[in-house]
Amino acid sequence: MIGLKIVLMPKREEQFLQRINAKQPEAFRELFSEFYNSLVLFAMGFVVQQDVAEDVVQEVFIAVWERDAQYPTYNAFRSFLYNSVKNASLNYLKHKNVEEKYLASLNLEDEGDDIDLKMMEEELYRLLFKTIDELPDKCRNIFLLHLEGKGNEEIALLLNLSILTVKTQKKRAMSYIRERLGRVYFVMMSLGII
């Protein structure tokens, strides 16, 4: 074995951003499938009702589409989405003349770190849920129970599987997630050719 080379696939996310910047119609649909559900949950943290949260996010997405902006990085774009949804939610609350007390209890305008933590949490759930949805059925249930903090034995008992199967499926979920994160997708060792 002469060289070890790590190959990174072109990141899915960067490709998505390019499509967004180029305003390709398909990208609009992707925006919904990637971010809509999570941003609605995020907005519900402010406006509570689901239908209101959905309206808020839809307005934001339409504004994103009609706005003539280029986003330099995927992170900048994500950040922009979360901030826009937060601002739009607060705006809605202001116009609805929600009691000052409630607004004060949200404590948002000045505590930047706090809101960032909320966004981080939502983004984490977004990634987890997307991964869960893409796992094969068998893996999915095991992975969900694992996230609930259950141990291998307990999962095996609950799903009537052997502990070995639980372990195998968990391992598969994990390597799948690694791959999804666009990290070492294909490690290759070449013999003499490179």
Partner 1 sequence: MDDCKFRMVEMMHLYLSGAITDEEMQELQKWLDAAPENRVMFDRICKGKDILYKYRMYKKIDHRVACERCEKRVGIKRRNIRIWLKYAAILLLPLGSIFVLLRNNEREQPVEVATVDILPGETKATLILADGKSVVLEHDTTRDIVVGEGVNAKNSGRGIVYSTNGSEKRNLQYNVLQTPRGGEYQITLADGSMVQLNSATQLKFPVVFDEEKREVYLTGEAFFEVQKDEKRPFYVIADGIKIRVYGTSFNVNTHDKERVQTVLVEGSIGLSAEKGGPEYRMKPSQLGEYRRADASVNVKTVDIEPYIAWKDGFFVFENQTMEQIMNTLSLWYDVDIFYANEQLKNLHFTGHVKRYEQIDNILKAIKSAVGITFTIKDRTICISK
Decide: 46 and 83 in contact? Cβ < 8 Å. no
Phi, psi of 64 (to 5 degrees): -60, -45
Examine residue 124 and tell whether it contacts partner 1 (CB under 8 A): yes
Decide: 83 and 116 in contact? Cβ < 8 Å. no
Q: How far is the CB of 65 from partner 1 (least distance, A)?
A: 5
Q: How many whole angstroms separate alpha carbon 183 and alpha carbon 99?
A: 47
Q: How far is the CB of 97 from partner 1 (least distance, A)?
A: 27
Q: How many whole angstroms separate alpha carbon 179 and alpha carbon 186?
A: 9
Tell me, by CB under 8 A, how many residues bind partner 1: 79
Examine residue 159 and tell whether it contacts partner 1 (CB under 8 A): no
**Cross-strand bridge partners of residue 1:** none
Q: Which of residues 170-189 bind partner 1 (CB under 8 A)?
A: 170-179, 181, 185-189
Pick the closest to residue 18 from 67, 77, 60 (CA basis).
77
Of 90-98, 100-108, 167-175: span binding partner 1 (CB under 8 A): 167-175
Give 103 or 165: the residue with its C-beta nearer to partner 1.
165
Q: Which of residues 34-93 bind partner 1 (CB under 8 A)?
A: 36-38, 40-41, 50, 54, 57-58, 61-62, 65-66, 73, 75, 78-79, 82
